[in-house]
Amino acid sequence: MSIFNRRPKAWRIPAGKYYPLFDDMASQPHLLIAGATGSGKSVVINGILHNLLLHNAPGQVQLILIDPKRVELVRYRDLPHTISYASEPDSMVQALASALTITDRRYAAMQRQRVLKWQGGQIYVVIDELADLMTTDKKHVMPLIQRLCQIGRAAGVHVIAATQCPLSAVIPTPIKVNFDSRVGLRTRSAQDSRNILGGTGCERLPRYGQGYYMTPEGTHKYLIPMYSDDRYEAILHHWTSKACRA
């Protein structure tokens, strides 16, 4: 029996304007996005990145992009916010290792300053397809992601990971427990829904347009908004043109 029986919520913002749902997702320590092919994972990832870029200069937000399919995140590769873009097996593992090195350095600085939380810019490690990354080198990838999620939040390092294959082999418990915020989109089966959110319901969602958003405060169904391609092109042009003039 589904534990998700609430009516879908919609952020009351006119279409084409601005969607604070993505701000809320970006504010979580880490975020797992899962659903079947074509369920809207790209809409969520791109919406979060759009809002981050809309509000933050490169010194305020930096991106480490891991893009096994070399399609979804490549448009952000040349932004001044992007400190690393990885699409090859070795470079993807190295990108995770670099993120962990940055996290360790921040903890060392926090210790010297005697503060409990990083006060500077935030770093987002965005993984477009976790299944491909785990297949590449699970032996090294799994402990890196696990450690990064465990210690990253206080250091201002956040992981946003998406997968179209929400199996226990792809998101094993040692990793999943560190993602207490998750987006569940349409899944192929009730078991996939359980793997993501701990209950059924995602398998009955429409193909796209709706999803469950789980945070420590609870789980709710939402209408997932979508920006137009023009909005993305405008924000990308804004920052790449500034980088060229710098």
Under DSSP, the state recorded for 2 is -
Band of pLDDT at residue 180, cut at 50, 70 and 90: very high
Q: Which residues fall within 8 angstroms of residue 105, CB to CB, at 6 or more apart?
A: none
**Gyration radius from the chain CA atoms:** 17
pLDDT at 86: 96
pTM summary value: 0.91
* C-beta separation of 104 from 96 below 8 A: no
Does the pLDDT value for residue 22 go beyond 80?
yes
The whole-number average pLDDT for the span 83-87 is 96
Does the pLDDT value for residue 17 go beyond 80?
no
**pLDDT top residue among 143 and 168:** 143
Output the average pLDDT for the chain. Answer: 90
Task: Please give the angle made by the CA atoms of 223, 182 and 166, to the nearest 5 degrees.
Answer: 105
* All structural domains of the chain: 20-183 (3.40.50.300)
**Rounded distance between C-alpha atoms, residue 94 and residue 49, angstroms:** 22
CA-to-CA dists, residue 75 to 38, 86, 88, 236, angstroms? 19, 13, 16, 8
Secondary structure (3-state) at 169: coil
Q: In this structure, what are the phi and psi dihedrals at residue 200, rounded to the nearest 5 degrees? A: -80, 170
pLDDT at 21: 94
Structure tokens at 75: 């448009």
**Rounded distance between C-alpha atoms, residue 58 and residue 52, angstroms:** 10
Band of pLDDT at residue 2, cut at 50, 70 and 90: low
Which of 5-9, 29-33, 224-228 shows the lowest per-residue confidence on average (mean pLDDT)?
5-9
pLDDT at 102: 97
Does the pLDDT value for residue 87 go beyond 60?
yes
Distance, CA of 208 to chain centre = 18
Does the pLDDT value for residue 5 go beyond 60?
no
The whole-number average pLDDT for the span 95-99 is 96
Q: In this structure, what are the phi and psi dihedrals at residue 43, rounded to the nearest 5 degrees? A: -60, -45
* C-beta separation of 48 from 70 below 8 A: no
Does the pLDDT value for residue 178 go beyond 80?
yes
172: left (phi over 0), alpha (psi -120 to 50) or beta: beta
Q: Which residue, among 175, 172, 65, has the nearest Cα to 129 in the 3D structure? A: 65
* C-beta separation of 235 from 54 below 8 A: yes
Band of pLDDT at residue 15, cut at 50, 70 and 90: very low
Q: In this structure, what are the phi and psi dihedrals at residue 163, rounded to the nearest 5 degrees? A: -150, 145
Band of pLDDT at residue 14, cut at 50, 70 and 90: very low
Residue-wise pLDDT tens digits, 105-137: 999 999 999 999 999 999 999 999 999 888 888
**pLDDT top residue among 180 and 243:** 180
